[in-house]
Structure formats: C-alpha cells, structure tokens
Chains A and B, each alone.
Chain A
Amino acid sequence: MPSETTQTQNLISASDLTVIRQGRRVLDNVSLDIARDDFITLIGPNGAGKTVLLRHLLKLDKPDAGRVTHLSGLKVGYVPQRITIDPSLPISVRRFLTLNNSEKENDIATLAEETDITPLLDTPLSALSGGEMQRVLLTRALTSDPELLILDEPAQNLDVNGQLQFYTLIEEIYERRKLSILMVSHDLHLVMSSTRKVVCLYHHICCSGAPESVARDPEFISIFGNDMAKLMAVYPHTHSHDHTHEHTHDHDHGEGTT
C-alpha cells in the first residue's frame, strides 16, 4: 500500500511487514495499527517473531517488504524485558534516569512518585531487585512523556506477586495518562481487565480482537491449547467449537490469514 502519509490518526501503522531471516519468513505480511487509547497485548509462542515485530514498529530494523509509519513527532517509551547491570558500573537510579535526555531533577521526583520508586533514587542500579528494576525502566520510558508505551515481556522475570504489582502499575498509568500501550506478554489472565485487544502472532497474525473472542478462535486454541483459552475466556460457557465467530480481524487490513 504505497501511500506516503497516514490516512488515519494511528500512532503507528504497520502494513504488510515481511521479514526474511536466513531464508525463513519470520514475519509474513503482518499489518498492525496502534491507535490512541489502545491497549494491545501481543502474544505468541517463543520464536513467533514478537520481538522482531517490536523492533520494526520501533523502526530499529528495516523490513524486507511492507512499511511502518509513525505519526509525525510521535514519542514512544520503550521498556525492555530486563537489563543486567555490570556491578563494575557505579550508577545510581537517579543518574540512570537522567542519562542522555533532558530530564530535570524535579521531573524525576514527580515521576518517581508515580511509579513508586522514590526510596530507590539513590540506590546503585546494580543493587535493584527484578521488580524494582522493571519499575525503574518503566520510569525511564515515561521521561519523554510518551504517547505510546511499548513493553517487551516486562514481567517475564518477576515472581507472581511482582507480576501482579507491575501490571497493576501499568494499568494505573494507562488510566491516568491516557496513553496507548503495546505489550508483549504471556500473562494474559493478569492483563485481561485492561487489554482492549489481543493480537496473536505466529509469523503471521493468527487472530486479533477482544480477548474473549480471540480465546474462541480455533487457530488460537491450536497454538496455545485449550487451557490457555479457558484461562482467558471471560464467558464461562465458552467452548472450542463455537461457530458463531470468524477470525476476528478488527479494523486491520491486509492480514496474512486466509
């Protein structure tokens, strides 16, 4: 779709992305729009191309085909899965938050309140626990006052309690700041209440739509199994042979599903 401008007010619009790595189609004709106020949870098995897709949405890599368009002046905050700080690097949380940006001390204090890391500001970065580190990374992502947060399995390495706390914080920030969120996460059952849209990726977009409809999609069930589907399904009487739905394509265009 070779048009030079975004027709809509989508923050990010990816159309027909194809990425070939060593002869394999890691992404196959993937289209995804991120609109204002979206809360999209991206799921998919390991090696499904989730991180590759994020990297292309962030415009860090160039696709072999297709295009990614950002709304002009779009500010994106990015939260990586985890970072490991070499203990030989002496750096406090406060300093880390002001690295390579124009953030002021005052703003940092306000942000730290929001993400509940005020007591950590003078702690060495290498001394943080997993949950504390993710909150610090989230704080850094917020320093640019982003319109969109992109998170790559942000709670992957946390225990159940830490996961709950982290997702609650994400939901609070989503409600308060009215920003959009795109998050890779396997903990769908924990983010269900906020997730507006689930996108299931396995090199192509298998299915997408509201969580409860995706849970009934045969392709979803074939990839994730019945247990996951049941865990996700809000409706207690959902069963896998429901024929009332089709692949719920939402407003996406040109998806690879047939």
Chain B
Amino acid sequence: MMSAHIVLTTLALALVAGPLGCFVVWRRMAYFGDGLAHSALLGVAIGLVIGVSHQIGMMLIAVLFALTLIWLRAKRVLATDTLLGILAHAALSLGLVAMMLLGAGEAEVHDYLLGSLDKLTPELAAWVIGGCGLSLGLLLRFWPGLILMTTSEELAHAEGVPIMRYEFALMVLMGVVVAAAIQMVGILLITSLLIIPASSARLFARSPEAMAVSGSLLASLAMLLGLPLAQNFALATGPVIVCVSVALFILLLAARLLHRPQVS
C-alpha cells in the first residue's frame, strides 16, 4: 500500500501535468523539456556543492537553462533544436561528471535517471505539492492569454499579451514541474509524463480546457496504476508509469479509430 504523502504527491503532479503537458504539445516544447530534464542532474550536483536541496538546485539550473537558451536563440545563428542538443548534453555530462566527483554511487545516479520512491520523504512531498500547486495556479490565472499566444504570438502581442514574459514563465514553470517530478519519474522519462497524457487527451478533446482536464485525469490514472506495479515488482518507477501511460494512449487511439474513422 502506498503511503498518503506519495498518493498526494502523485495527484499533484498529475494535476499540473495535464495543462502543462498540453502547452508542451501545442507549442512543441518536448525537446525543451527533455533538455531541461537532462540539466537536472547538474542541478542536483550544484545543490550538493552549495548546500541547498536538490529541488532548489534543479530549479536554479532550469532558470539558467531557459535564460541561456533564450539568449542564444536571439543570436539567430543556430537552430533551436541544435542549441537544445548542445545545452542538454553539456548539462547532462557536467552533471554526471560532477556527481561522480562528489562520490555519488551508481545506484544514486540510476535513481535520478529512472526515478524511485525511496527518497520521497513527507517533507519533500510537501515541497513538490507546493510547487505543483503554484504552477497550476499560475497556468490557470494566465490561461486565456496563454491560449491566445498559442494560436498566434503576433496576434496576442498586438492585443497586449506580454508574450516574452509568458514564454519565459512557461519555461520556468516547466523547470519547476520537472524538478518536482524528477524524483518519481526520473530524468530520462520526465517529458513523457507531460506529453503522453496530453496527446491521449487530444484524441477526443474538443476544447483546450477539455484536453487539459482529460490530460490530468489520464496522468493520474497512469501514475496511480504504475506506482503500485513498480513497488510490487521492485521496478524503477519511471519506466512502469510510462508503460501504463502508453498503454492508455494505445487504448484510446484504438477506440478512436474504431468509433470515429475520420480524424479531424
């Protein structure tokens, strides 16, 4: 049986993963999310060095990552996905080297890469739930403007939406949620926690809001089914959650193909 703080953390993560995952899908930020996750290990190492918690270290690195990306992108020399590739792998390599120099065992690094519940203390859970709640609140507060910006940045800008700030805010929110979820799902698979439920929801959703809410429900389902499975069979949590999530996606895809042959 899972303890209460784990269930609550799971629900908080799933709740924010729905709407945030939608933006990752709509705005094609999947590779950005991956890059952010790769940089998280460096955040852990920095946290160890300067003596703050892993989560704070990861968020610091996430903000730094987003700022560096925006700055390099503005130079308009290299494509965004090239920049992300450089940044992500530089950060991952630096993180791995730093972790090894700091004497972290392979088991510890493994846990960060694939996720584990071992270190999810009630105290950490409170932080994670707080971070998710804050992110969700911000997403809801600025929802209409964010959706308008997603339909057309030009139009949103002309109508007075501060698009630069909104985009940076989305990047930072992703950093917060990635940092919050990494313990459970792991660096390698964190992006799928965001994009698979949202993509499944897209198969039948008719409005942005319906897609976000269904995404949250599907993410909850995947995590609440996946976590006990992983515990029972002593498996890494991340891969099991993603397997369940993909299974749900396939089920919904099949149902859609059977019932509504014409994809709109």
Contacts and interface: CB of A to CB of B under 8 A. Distances in A.
A231 B83 CA distance: 48
B158 A95 contact: no
Nearest to B23: A89
A86 B28 CA distance: 9
Contacts of A137: 155
B158 A89 contact: no
Given A99-B144, A100-B145, A91 B151 contact: yes
Nearest to B157: A60
A89 B26 contact: yes
Contact of A95 (B25, B28, B156, B207): B207
A45 interface: no
Contact of B151 (A60, A99, A127): A99
Interface string B5-43: 000000000000000000001101000000000000000
Given A60-B158, A91-B208, A100-B145, A83 B202 contact: no
Contacts of B207: 90-92, 95
A124 B208 CA distance: 11
A103 to B, nearest CB: 11
Contacts of A121: none
B159 interface: yes
Contact of B158 (A58, A96, A124, A125): A58
A80 interface: yes
Interface residues of B, number: 26
A85 interface: yes
A128 to B, nearest CB: 12
Interface string A84-117: 0110111110011001110000000000000000
Contacts of B155: 78, 80, 83, 137, 140
A149 to B, nearest CB: 12
B158 A80 contact: yes
Contacts of A100: 144-145, 147-148, 156, 159, 161
A88 B144 contact: no
B141 interface: no
A87 B67 CA distance: 29
B147 A80 contact: no
B152 A83 contact: yes
A95 B208 contact: yes
Contact of A92 (B156, B202, B206): B206
B152 A78 contact: no
Given A89-B208, A91-B147, A92-B206, A127 B154 contact: no
B211 interface: yes
Contact of A89 (B151, B159, B264): B151
Contacts of B147: 89, 91, 99-100
A60 B148 CA distance: 17
Nearest to A89: B26
Interface of A: 58, 60, 78, 80, 83, 85-86, 88-92, 95-96, 99-101, 124-125, 127, 137, 140
13 contacts: A86-B26, A86-B28, A88-B26, A88-B199, A90-B210, A90-B211, A91-B147, A91-B207, A96-B151, A99-B144, A99-B148, A100-B161, A137-B155
Given A88-B25, A99-B151, A101-B159, 18 more contacts: A60-B158, A83-B154, A83-B155, A86-B26, A86-B150, A89-B151, A89-B208, A90-B206, A90-B210, A90-B211, A91-B207, A92-B206, A100-B144, A100-B145, A100-B147, A100-B159, A100-B161, A127-B264
